[in-house]
Each structure stands twice: as C-alpha cells, then as structure tokens.
Structure 1
Amino acid sequence: MPARQYWSLILILGTMTALGPFSIDMYLSGYQAIAEDLHVPTERIGLSLASYFIGISAGQLLYGPLLDRFGRKKPLYAGLIVYLIASAGCIAARSLESFVLLRFIQAIGSCAAAVASVAMVRDLFPIKDSAKVFALLMLVVGASPMLAPTIGGYITAAWNWQAIFIVLGGMGLLLMIACFAFLPESHQPDTSMSLKPGPIINGFWAVMREPQFYTYALTGAFAFSGLFVYVSSSPVVFMNIFRVSETHFGWIFAGLSVGFIGSSQLNSLTLRYFRSEQIIRIALIGQALIGIVFFAGSYLGWFGLTSTIIMLFLYLSCLGFANPNASALSIAPFKKNAGTAAALMGALQMGIGGLASTVASLFHATSPVPMTMLMAATALISVAILFLGGLRITNPVFLHDGGDTVVLH
C-alpha cells in the first residue's frame, strides 16, 4: 500500500473512531451551563453521558451484522445521517429527559463510524499490523480529549452550550463527505448472511464463545471503563470540588489525555521488542496497583489537585498501553465476520463503560473517593478476567511480526 494512501486511511479511520469520543468530550465543559438551563443539579447531566454510552453499546450490536451484510459504507452513511438529526435535536432540547433521549439517539448514529473503523482495520491491513494501526488511530482519537473540552469551554463561554452541538453536527457532515470521497469499500456485501434474529444471535454467539475473544474483549472493556468513570466524574471533581473554571478544566483534561495518547504511541515502539499479550499483562497490573493507591490516598485525604492530576495521568498511561493490544488480540481470530466481532467488542466496551458511568453519576460526590473507588475496582476486575480467561485459551492467535498470524497449539 502506498504511504500516501496508508496515512490517508489512518486519518479517515481515526476521525471515524474519534466521532464518538469527540461527542462525549466537547460538552463536558458545558455541564454547569446545561444543568442551569435545564434546571437540574450538575451531576444529573451525567445521565446524558451514560445514555450516550448505552446507545453506543446497543447500536454497535445493530451495525455489526449490517456491515457484514451490506458492506461497510452504506450502514456508515445511514448512521451518520441519524447522528446529524439527533445533533439538531440536542440543540432544541428543553428538558433533561429529552436531552438524555436525544443523546442516546446521537450515540446510535455515531457508533456506525466506530464499528466500521474497527472492521475496516481488519479488512485493509495485515493482521500483524493491527496493534500498530490501532495505536495510530488512538493518535487521531487523541485530538478529542486534547482539544474537545477546551474548545467546548470556550464555545460555552462565548456563546452557549447549544453551539457545541452545532459544531458536532458540522463535524459529522464533513466526515460523511470525506468517507464518500476518499474511503474505499473494503468488504463486498455478503448476500448469504441472514438478518433474521436467529442467525444474527447465532453469529454473535459464535464470536462470544471464542475464548480469546471473550478474554481480551472483557479485559479491555473493564479496563477501559475506568476511563469512562474518569470522564463522567471529572467535571464534578475538578469544577465542583476543586473549583477550577470551565476553561481551566479543559486544559487539565487536555493535559491528562497526553498520558493516554502518548503511551498508546509508545506501545508501537514497545511492540518491536515484546508481544501484545506480554504488554497488556504488565499494563493492567500497573493500572490496578495505581488505582488501589489512588483510592487509598483519596480516602485518607492525601491528594490535592496536583497529586490527583498526577495519579490520573499514571492511570491513563497504563490504559494507553493496554487498550490497543486488547482490541487487536480480541479480533485476531476473525476475518469473515470481523464486523460482527468488532461490533460485539465495542458493545461490551461501551456497555460496561456506560454502566460504570451510570454508577458514577449516582453519587453526590463531595470528594474524589467515588471516582477513585470505581476506577480501582474496574482495573482489578480486568486483571482477574485476563488471568482467569487466559486459562481457557487453548489455541491462541497471536500477532507476529514475521507473518499474517501465528497459531500456537
């Protein structure tokens, strides 16, 4: 593949992957403004974030079979149209209930891009490059936490929170144009695939019962849910508890994203010397240990604003190593039904993350303790799944620099 085409695909697929995170991160700085406009407590706005996560989870199960049946691009266009309509609805929302519902619909639309991007990585690149490609996608996705909250804060301060959704709608429209003009169709429609409930459920079950899939997909989902807890809780922790301004919160959020994105790029270098399954094991143990110290220190009152930022940076850095390897190892055993596998992996990730985010939003937090407790718990669960699930993998498909795959018996 020519270098120019390679990098253009990375940019488009990365932007597709970033649409959902950008839709999450940009409105975080507007939490207080939205709460005031809708006449609800600030922490209640977290329900709109939880509904977004749940919408992505449910929507990915919908799009997986569609992407395998009709090719990658037609379902992608349908999802982006839904996203545009829901973004317009969010601008007009006048109650918390309608806002939460519209965010759910917006998520249903955005997850078409997320599922299609993962499936197209499997379609367009050799499996030996999967972890590296996912890490490069994370570099593009990194623009979201680095830019979105800061941009959202300035937009809210200059105009109003509704303007955030005008910008998001414009982003969705530009992405649709770019996909139409520059993104190739990477999978021919499979007319033999049935869209009846029975065959679809059987297809998901065939993926889910693969030990390598459920081990790394669940491991990655619980590890990643720690990020969702942080994203959901951070506006309350920083703006309500530590009393930072909307714009300063955006800069803090951007700075913390450097840990997650930077480590995901270091992961590409680390893969030259270590296998993905080795890296993920060390990264998750580190994440769990940092989570335990973070929770204990918050409970005992050791951490102020600066030390809280440092602990979050270390936690997210470990996750940056774990996430691309978990994704690559999850879908490695699949080719024909890569769309279904990508959808199920994303659904697990977003569903578990949405549940963790919902739990976080139920706390009336007066300290960082609820956030740190949930972050430590999700990290510990991911480590337990990794080691227990690993015992069930008898024929692992590992990524290997010297060929397409290597199957160890």
Structure 2
Amino acid sequence: MGTDSHGMTLLSPLKARTLPLLLAGLAMLGPFTINMYMPSFAAMRTELGVDDVQLQITLSLYFTAFAFMSLWHGTLSDRFGRRWPIVAGLFTFSVASFGIALSRDIHVIYLLRVLQGLSAGAGIVIGRAVIRDVYEGPAAQRAYATVVMVFSLAPAVGPVIGGWLHSAFGWRASFGFLGGISTVLLLLVLWVLPETLARSARRSLSFRPLLRTYKEVFLHFRFMSWAVSFALMFGGFFVYVLSAPVFLLEHLHLGPTEFLWLFGPATAGMMLGSFLSGRLAPRWPLRSLMRTGFAIMAVATVYNLVVSWLEPQYFYLYLPFLFVYTLGMSLVQPSITLLGLDCLPDRRGTASSIQLFTQTSFNAMLASVVAPFVWGAPLHLAVASALMLTLSLSGIFLLRWLTLSGRISAAPIIN
C-alpha cells in the first residue's frame, strides 16, 4: 500500500471492501450511545438516587454536545484530513465510556456524557465526506445505502445487548461495552481507513474564512431545506426511541429485555429500505424514489394514529407502523442526504457537519422538551410523529414550489 501524487493512501482490495463496513461501524456508535443503557434506567435511578428527569438529562446533554461538535468535525476534517480527527474522536469516546462505567455520581456522568457527545459524531460526519470523496453518482448512493443498512442494526441490537448486559452484570456493563467497541474501531481505523482528502484540497482554520464558510452553508436555502426536512422526517420515528423507557415499560408493560419489540421492526424496516434504495438508485428517478418513501411513511402514520386512538395498549399493533415508517424513511434518507451535500460540492465536510448539527439539535429538543411532554399517552406520541412528518413534507413542497416559480435557482438533480 502506497500513496498517490497528492499524498492520499491507496487501498488494497481487502481494505477497499472493508471500508464501507468500517464507516457503518463508526456510524453505529451514536445509536448505541443513545439506547444501549435505556433498559437500565430503573436500576440507575435506584443506585444513583435520581429520578426520570435527571436520567433524561444524560440524553439531553449528550445530544447538545453532539450537535455542537458536529459543526466542527467536518471542518476539522477539511483542514487536517479525514483520518486523524476520527482517531482523536474514538480515543476520547473510549475514555469517556470507561469512565461512566466506573462512576458513582450523576454529575460525573453528566460530564462524561458531554465528552461522549463531543466525540461520538466524528465517524458519522467525516464518514459521509469520505463517501463523497471516493464515490460519484449512483455509486455514492449505493455506498451510503450500504452504510445505512449496516448502521440500521444499531437501534435494534443496542438495547437488546444492553438488556442482556444489564441482566447479567448490571447497568455499568453497557458503558464498558461501548468503551470496548470504540477501542476496536480505533484499531480498525488505524489499519483500514485511508486519507481521502488531498493536501491541496485542505482548507484553513482562520477565523474569518471559517466564519464565511459557516455563513455560506447556513444561509444556503436549498441545503438547509433538505437538512431541516430530514431532521423532521427522522424525528417522526425518533420520538419513540427517546420515549422508549416510558412507552414500553409503562404503557405497554414490557420488561427491560423486551426492547426488541420497538427496535426490532424499526431496524428491519431501515435495513430493507436501505437495501431497496441501493438497488433502485440506478433504475428509478430520484424524485420517484423520494415520493414512494414519503407515501409509505404517510400510510404508516395514519395507521399509527388509528391504533393509538382505538387500541393503544397492545404492543403488537405498533409493529407494522415501526416497520413501514422506517422502511419509507430509509428509502428517502440516502437521496435527501446526498441532495444536501451536492448543494455545496466544495464544502462537503462542513456541509456534512451542519447536516448532522441540524438533526442532532432537533433531537436534543425532542429529548429535553417534546418527548417528556408527549410520552404520557400513546396518542400524544402518534400526533407528535404525524406533525413532524407533515412539516417535513411541507418543507419539501415549499422548496419545489419556490424552484418551479423561479424564486430560487433550479437544481438539475431534482428536475
């Protein structure tokens, strides 16, 4: 293995095949960090002497730190290259995870959750930029769909593993597991991940040019429309993830090892949707793929409203909603993400950061405000989910109308 004339590492065939799986593994850290310890909430309340609101703060702090640092991961990768910012993030995440496993004070856990949030997003943010560095056109969509398909295992596997670890070893074992897998990923990054950004393409970290770059991206109407629409669409499902301890344990009367009833069908839907997105990308027009995905989500949302109104107590009635909604969501996700990145082809690292910042900032608001407000009844959750999907669709319709009316410039990719 050598380097090309720009100083970029050339991959062996084995490492080239391993790269998408590694990027998916890096992306899985975020969901694992969110939901792996959810089955242990009751035990943590007892041992740490805290209540549900104080435990919810561990989620809010994580999301806030994650959102803040997501603004910088891509920018740092545009300056220093893709590889070493990921290495630094994984090292920090590993130390913080092992620290929580040894902590006995909720305030120390708050601090370490902030460190987890600051470091967990490096892989997923920079990984998106790596995909765009390496692949073009349908190949990029297929590569991103592969990452999403593997990454989609995390929402189901995380709480199941967390429930098993909790039953066998207690709540601390989940954080020890996070420290272990992040250490393994760190070693794999050092072995597999190439440097995909040429030195000649790297950008300065000077304050004024950096401020101009962020201003350019945040004020790019088309880019931000895609980012906000994606955050709202994802929020229609994610509000259930954030409400899982109350929704599953209190409303549906399931146990700490039965979180698979929520995350299993959702994961199956995401994996199937990602698979179909990758297969259909070369054959279907992008607009047709997106229309189909949103239509599927709309059908699932109407079904969920009916179930939550008429028969809210039976957990098995929610399984079709979770599967079908996430299937439609994953059909749309690669397209809407790449549409956003293609708005700013020379700012992909920063654009990827702001995509994740937008989504995670919205998740932080869901965790701290929306989820505690609506988790009191299944119907409230269903209405919140439906409202977010409606707003997402409204944003896309607005963007389309503004394009057709000539108020903003047309983008060939959506025509």
TM, length-normalised to structure 1: 0.90
Contact 2:97/2:176 (8 A) holds in 1: yes
> C-alpha separation between the residues in 1 aligned to 2:115 and 2:202?
30
Contact 2:374/2:384 (8 A) holds in 1: no
2:411 is the alignment partner of 1:396: yes
> C-alpha separation between the residues in 2 aligned to 1:100 and 1:291?
35
Contact 2:28/2:154 (8 A) holds in 1: yes
Contact 1:60/1:112 (8 A) holds in 2: yes
Aligned length: 400
1:42 deviates by 3.6
1:314 deviates by 1.9
1:301 deviates by 4.1
2:286 is the alignment partner of 1:271: no
Contact 1:213/1:330 (8 A) holds in 2: yes
Q: Secondary structure at the match of 2:258?
A: helix
| Structure 1 equivalent of residue 133 of structure 2 | 123
- Structure-2 change in CA distance of 1:308 and 1:251 (3 Å): closer
> C-alpha separation between the residues in 1 aligned to 2:208 and 2:47?
45
Q: Secondary structure at the match of 1:273?
A: coil
Q: Secondary structure at the match of 1:363?
A: helix
2:28 is the alignment partner of 1:13: no
Instruction: Give the partner amino acid of 2:22.
Output: I
> C-alpha separation between the residues in 1 aligned to 2:111 and 2:137?
38
1:43 deviates by 5.6
Contact 2:61/2:110 (8 A) holds in 1: yes
> C-alpha separation between the residues in 2 aligned to 1:227 and 1:302?
17
> C-alpha separation between the residues in 1 aligned to 2:322 and 2:62?
23
> C-alpha separation between the residues in 2 aligned to 1:290 and 1:309?
10
1:42-99 deviation line (CA, Å, top 9, x unaligned): 4642332232222221111021211101111121122112212221232233344443
- Structure-2 change in CA distance of 1:245 and 1:198 (3 Å): same
- Structure-2 change in CA distance of 1:222 and 1:332 (3 Å): same
- Structure-2 change in CA distance of 1:185 and 1:397 (3 Å): farther
Q: Secondary structure at the match of 2:27?
A: helix
| Structure 2 equivalent of residue 236 of structure 1 | 246
Instruction: Give the partner amino acid of 1:120.
Output: V
| Structure 2 equivalent of residue 227 of structure 1 | 237
Q: 1:83 aligns with which of 88, 93, 106?
A: 93
1:251 deviates by 5.3
> C-alpha separation between the residues in 2 aligned to 1:193 and 1:142?
33
1:300 deviates by 4.2
1:102 deviates by 2.1
Instruction: Give the partner amino acid of 2:317.
Output: S
Q: 1:140 aligns with which of 150, 174, 183?
A: 150
| Structure 2 equivalent of residue 405 of structure 1 | none
Contact 1:43/1:364 (8 A) holds in 2: no
Instruction: Give the partner amino acid of 2:369.
Output: V
Contact 1:333/1:397 (8 A) holds in 2: no
Q: Structure 2 matches for 1:7-406, cutoff 5 A? A: 7-42=17-52, 44-189=54-199, 193-250=203-260, 252-301=262-311, 304-363=314-373, 365-393=375-403, 394-398=409-413
> C-alpha separation between the residues in 2 aligned to 1:289 and 1:359?
27
- Structure-2 change in CA distance of 1:364 and 1:283 (3 Å): closer
Identity %: 25
Query: Which is worse superposed, 42-51 or 103-112?
Result: 42-51
> C-alpha separation between the residues in 2 aligned to 1:351 and 1:289?
27
Instruction: Give the partner amino acid of 2:172.
Output: Q
1:158 deviates by 0.4
1:142 deviates by 2.2
Instruction: Give the partner amino acid of 1:39.
Output: G
Query: Which is worse superposed, 271-280 or 6-15?
Result: 271-280
1:241-278 deviation line (CA, Å, top 9, x unaligned): 21111112235422331012211111122223322233
Instruction: Give the partner amino acid of 2:225.
Output: T
1:111 deviates by 0.8
> C-alpha separation between the residues in 2 aligned to 1:192 and 1:158?
48
Contact 2:20/2:143 (8 A) holds in 1: yes
1:350 deviates by 1.2
TM, length-normalised to structure 2: 0.89
1:156-190 deviation line (CA, Å, top 9, x unaligned): 00011111111101111111111111111001346
> C-alpha separation between the residues in 2 aligned to 1:205 and 1:275?
32
1:288 deviates by 3.6
When the two chains are superposed, the root-mean-square deviation of aligned CA atoms in Å is 2.3
Instruction: Give the partner amino acid of 1:350.
Output: T
Contact 1:68/1:189 (8 A) holds in 2: no
Query: Which is worse superposed, 253-262 or 319-328?
Result: 253-262
Query: Which is worse superposed, 79-88 or 277-286?
Result: 277-286
